[in-house]
Structures are given as structure tokens and as C-alpha cells.
Chains A and B, each alone.
Chain A
Amino acid sequence: MITKNKQNNLLWLGLAISTILPFLFPNYITFLTYIWVMIILALTWDMLGGQTGYTSFGNILFFGVGMYVCAVVQRDMFSSGLDRFERVSEVVVNLNASEYFISLAVGTFSGALVAVFLAVILGSGILGMRGHYFAICTLGLGHAAAEIASGIEYLGAGSGMVTPIYPSGLFFGKEEFYYYALLIGAVATFFLFKKIYQSQFGLALNAIRDNENKAESMGIHTTQYKIAGWSISAFFLAIAGAGVGNVIGFIDPVEIAFSGPTFGVWMIVMAILGGKGTIWGPVLGAIILYSAKETFWTYLLGWDKVALGLLILIVVVYFPKGILGYFKERKQLSNNILSQKGES
């Protein structure tokens, strides 16, 4: 079995490899960037979906909000380019290097803050509900957000927005910059979440999953814990959203920002496939699902989303514990058998 020490060594080895990966495979850098995005998505979904046991279908809302807020800040911070164009979707802002990175940093951070604010407001209403009611409420969040965003002219309405052009002549190219930015984001998310799950806060989240009524009677303010958990998720999800918006360079309300059928579903499937309620499960699920999707799903020619639906159904119905959960169960089983043999 892998010991704690070995596990840490593996982790550091993996990190060391991933820092030099862009130089080894320069053609696959966008794919590698998306791996980190997917890890953030799966980890943040697992905070509520796995640790607390509340299956949220609406986390994509924070992703899109981060993307939009960041893009708006980037567009309007140093230039009022809005007046010069008839349509918002055609506005392309040219910034010099320092302006670009300052507006990106401010935009990402303010996007994350807006997402946290939304999570607190919406959470205090929605997280008080349980079961079916919670699920159906969150299911509508992303959908409604997409509808609203495509109706607002300031955000480019249905045609979306264009993010600023990456300044040329820098040491780092656009792809490399966003690769390392999202790598740092994913690693920070991973370690912070690991810390959180080991702390008392994480225990409270697990207590809610195991039995919410008992947790409440033990003096845990369950709704507040859920809101706090959701806010932390929202913070990192918005950062991922801001990054993805800039990587793609174009924001569409339905297809990219609040895209329920792609990012919104992937994050759920990845976390469950890897094993929800564990720290490594979502990471594993994200890597497996996204690699599989990129390598052979393109050959399915338009049927790839059908395959995704089928995959959810199969994973949930036949394999609800995920890969890590499956191994954990087997380990427990073999341990039980061993201990029984020892007794007799």
C-alpha cells in the first residue's frame, strides 16, 4: 500500500513534472491547461457535492460570473472602448503589458469576490433547503444566469464578449502564462482544500453529510457551514472562470460562460468518477475524463455529448462510489477478511 511519505513524494514528483511539461509537449499546452481547469472545477464541486453530500447542479454560475466580471474589468479599467463601437461584442481592447496584467489581476480578484457575494446571498436562500428542493433550485441557477447574461447589452448580449489581446513581445507567451497561472490556481486549491478537510471545518462538513439533523443537534450551524463551503468553492471557481475566459479569448453566455452541458456537467461527472468525498478523487477523475474526452471522443463525431450522458448514467447507477471509493471498499473488505483470519 502507498504510505503517507511515498504519497507526498509522488505529489512533489508530479508537480515537478507538470512544471516542465509545457517544454516537453509544446503542442499540447492548451490541453494541459484545461487539465488544471478541470481539476479546479472537480475539486470545487466536491466541496459541497462530496464532502457535504449536497449535489449542486448550479456551480457553473460562479464560473461564468468570474469570467464575465474579469472580462468587464479588463475591458473598462484602462479604456472606455465602448463608445467607439456600435456593438459590444465587437469591442477589442488593446492594452500594454502592465495594463494587461494589472487589469487581469484586479478582474480576477473582483470576479472571485462577486462570486463569493453571490454564493452568500443565494446560499442563504437555497442552502436552507434539502434534498429535491435544493437540487432543482441549483439546476436552474446556471440556466437562468445564461438567459439573463444573453439579455444584457452591456455584456454583449447573446453575441458575447471578446477578452483583450495578450500583449506581444513578452518573455512568456500567452499559452505558457495561462498554463502556469492555472497550474498555480489548481495547486493552491488542492492544498487549501486538503487543509480544510483536515480541519474542524472539514469535519463539520462531513458531519452534515452523514447526518444533518444530528450535526445540528450537536450545535453545528449547518446552514452557515454550507454557505461558507459554497463561498470557498465559488471563489476558486470564479478564478478558474476568469482564466478560461482569457484562454479562449471569447465569451459566449450559453456555450462557454454558463455552459451547463459542458463544464457544468463535466465537473459533476469528474468528481463522481474519481470518487466523491475524497481529495484525490476529483483530481483523478478530472485527469481521466478530460484526457479520455480529448483523445478519443473527437472520433465520435457529434455523438460525444450523447456518450457523456450515457457515462453519467452508468457511473451513477452502477459505480456511484467512483474509482477511489471502489479501491477503498476493496481494501476495507480485504482488511476485514485478514482480521477475521487473525482472530480465528
Chain B
Amino acid sequence: MITYLNILIDSPEFLAQLVINGLLVGAIFALIAYGLALIWGVMNIINFAQGEMVIFGGYLTYTLFYQFGIHPILSIPIVTVLLFVFGLLVYKAVIFRLLGEKDIFITILATFGLAILMQQLMQAIFGPDVVTANPELGMMHIFDGKVSISNIQLISFFIAAAVAIALFIIMKYSRMGQAIRATAQNPRAARILGIDIEKVYANTFAINAALCGIGGSLVVMVWTIHPFVGLVYTFRSFMIVILAGLGNFVGIIFAGMGISSLENVTGFVIGAEFQAAVIFCLLVIILVTRSIMARKKRQYIQ
């Protein structure tokens, strides 16, 4: 552990490499986290199946690439539409029945069950192997070749940025986006003003699923996936959202990039086998700190 720390101190290029990787991938995480924040803010539901939806999107891209020969980047629009429809179906089958549920643990358990179901279905359909759909676009070297960035990472970063901008415009100016924001502020008032809340909820959930699909497509290009890695993405997005706060679009982007870089550096120092544990410990540390701060004011975080 100390030796790894020394490597980082001796060669700042290496640190730069880790941080740059983190920043580029962090944009994807921010996208996924925004979806989580969206349904949390609008419907007061935490989607424990968030990570599984990401992995599902990734598997769709992978299948389209290897079975139908569609280039991963071009498959993104198809996956987006498919996941949007999938989101609508899940909403109709499960989420719809949980609205207005007073006991939040019921909704948590239901999405948790959904997560298990998706995990196992993906394992049954796609097999337990680790897969990737890297289109092999080569590397780019900066700082005299000391820091290397794969082109696909850069491209996925720009795609994530483009999606974020598009989403921002949709939420700000489109009719449905305005309705979603109004419902988030006050569902009752929104209903009185003639907004179809059911439709808003369905659309919100579907948009979240579509965002997860885009995120999954990018993840499968940049990294690898397997059916049981979804939980890590759920953690990451949850961590990003609680750091940034609900509805804070810019905050989520910065938190996503920051957490991803931090995770890369700590993962390197402590050892790659503990990477998933590091993510979780970071989450607990953040939450416990906030909980202790809240306790001083005789409050609790909820």
C-alpha cells in the first residue's frame, strides 16, 4: 500500500492518468446518477435496480454488436428506445402499484426484487461471463506519451456530455419536461393545474431507464460488464446523488467526475481486488459523516 502511494508521489504522470481516466468515465456515472435523482425527486422512489438497468443496456449493445453487427456507437439510439419501452413496461407492471405507498421499505424491497430478477434473467440469457464491446479505436497519447487515453473513452465522454445537454434542454423547455419539474415540486398542485400525473410518472421512469441504457452502452464500450456488477453502479449513482443533492444538475456532473477520480486513485493505492469494497466504504463514510453532523443538530438524515 505504501509502495503504491510512493509510485503516485514519484510519478505525477501516473496520478494524472488515473485522474483523467476517472474524469472521463465519471461523466457516464453522472448520467446514470441523474436518472436516479430524477425518479427520487419526482416519485420519491429509490431505484435499487438502477445498476441492473445499466448492465441490461450494456448487454443490448453487446448483443447488437456481435449478433447483428451494429457498431456500438450507432447502437446507442436503438438501446435508448428499447430501454425507454422497457422502463414503461416496468412502470406498468411494478412501479405503478407502489405510488402513494406510505412505507418506503415496500418500494425499496420491490425495486430490490426487480434487481434480483433482472440479474438472474441476464445471467440465464447472456451467461455469467465478462463481456465487452470495445470497438478498438486506438489510443491517444499526451504529455510526451506518458499519459494515454483510449479514443473510445474520449468519444463516450462527449456522447455523455451531448446527452446531458439534450436532457437539460428537454427538461427546461419541452412540455413534458416542465410537467416533470412541476410534479417534482408539488404533485397535488400540478394535478390541479391539469397535469396528468400518471403520465408524468411513467415518462420519468422511462426516461431514467433510457438514461441507464445510454450509460450501459457507454460502459460496455469503455469497460467490461457481467450480470452481477450492477450493484456497484447503483452505489456509485447513489453516492453521487447524495453528494450533489437532489435536482442539482451541475452538482451531479462534478460529483460524478470527482467520485470517479477518487475511486480510481484509492483503488490503485489499496489494490484492485478491493475496488468494489472501496466504493462502498466511501459511501458509508460520506453517509456516517453526514449523519453525525445531523445528529449534532438533533436531526437525522432520511
On A, residues with C-beta under 8 Å from B are 53-55, 57, 125-126, 128-133, 135-137, 139-141, 143-144, 147-148, 150-151, 261, 265, 268, 272, 302-303, 305-306, 308-310, 312-313, 315-318, 320
Contact = CB atoms under 8 A, between A and B. Distances in A.
A135 to B, nearest CB: 5
Nearest to A157: B273
Contacts of A136: 46, 48, 234-235, 238, 283
Contacts of B112: 57, 139, 312
A67 to B, nearest CB: 18
Given A55-B109, A147-B277, A309-B116, 19 more contacts: A125-B288, A130-B302, A132-B104, A133-B242, A133-B291, A133-B302, A136-B283, A137-B283, A147-B274, A147-B280, A151-B274, A261-B120, A261-B228, A303-B124, A306-B124, A312-B113, A312-B117, A313-B94, A317-B110
A303 B105 CA distance: 27
Nearest to B46: A132
B281 interface: yes
B274 A148 contact: yes
B85 interface: no
B175 interface: no
The 9 closest A-B pairs by CB, nearest first: A309-B117, A312-B113, A309-B116, A140-B280, A313-B113, A55-B105, A305-B120, A144-B280, A147-B277
A132 B108 CA distance: 8
A320 B113 CA distance: 13
Contacts of A132: 40, 46, 104, 108, 302
Given A312-B109, A320-B106, A139 B48 contact: yes
B272 to A, nearest CB: 9
B291 A125 contact: yes
Contacts of B105: 53-55, 131, 135
Q: Which of A131, A140, A261 has the most CB of B within 10 A?
A: A140
17 contacts: A54-B105, A57-B112, A125-B291, A129-B302, A132-B302, A133-B287, A140-B235, A143-B231, A143-B276, A144-B276, A268-B109, A272-B109, A305-B120, A309-B120, A312-B112, A313-B113, A313-B114
Nearest to A209: B103
Contacts of B104: 131-132
Interface of B: 40, 46, 48, 94, 97-98, 103-106, 108-110, 112-121, 123-124, 228, 231, 234-235, 238, 242, 271, 273-277, 280-281, 283-284, 287-288, 291-292, 295, 300-302
Nearest to A128: B291
Q: Which of B97, B98, B109, B235 has the most CB of A within 10 A?
A: B109
B259 to A, nearest CB: 15
Contact of A151 (B271, B280, B284, B291): B271
Nearest to A147: B277
Nearest to B292: A128
Contact of B113 (A130, A143, A261, A316): A316
A131 B242 CA distance: 14
A302 B291 contact: no
B87 to A, nearest CB: 16
A143 B48 CA distance: 14
Contacts of A306: 117, 120-121, 124
B60 to A, nearest CB: 18
A104 to B, nearest CB: 30
Contact of A130 (B46, B277, B301): B301
B106 A148 contact: no
Contact of B116 (A128, A129, A150, A261): A261
Contact of B284 (A125, A135, A317, A320): A125
Contacts of A320: 106
A128 B124 contact: no
A308 B120 contact: yes
Nearest to A318: B97
A57 to B, nearest CB: 7
A144 B113 contact: no
Contacts of B283: 136-137, 140
A316 B110 contact: yes
Contacts of A150: 273
Contact of A310 (B97, B106, B110, B117): B117
Nearest to B231: A143
A310 B106 CA distance: 15
Contacts of A261: 116, 119-120, 228
Contact of A135 (B108, B113, B123, B295): B108
B273 A129 contact: no
B293 to A, nearest CB: 11
A140 B239 CA distance: 12
B141 to A, nearest CB: 33
A253 B108 CA distance: 26
Nearest to A261: B116
A128 B290 CA distance: 10
Nearest to B273: A151
A320 B109 CA distance: 10
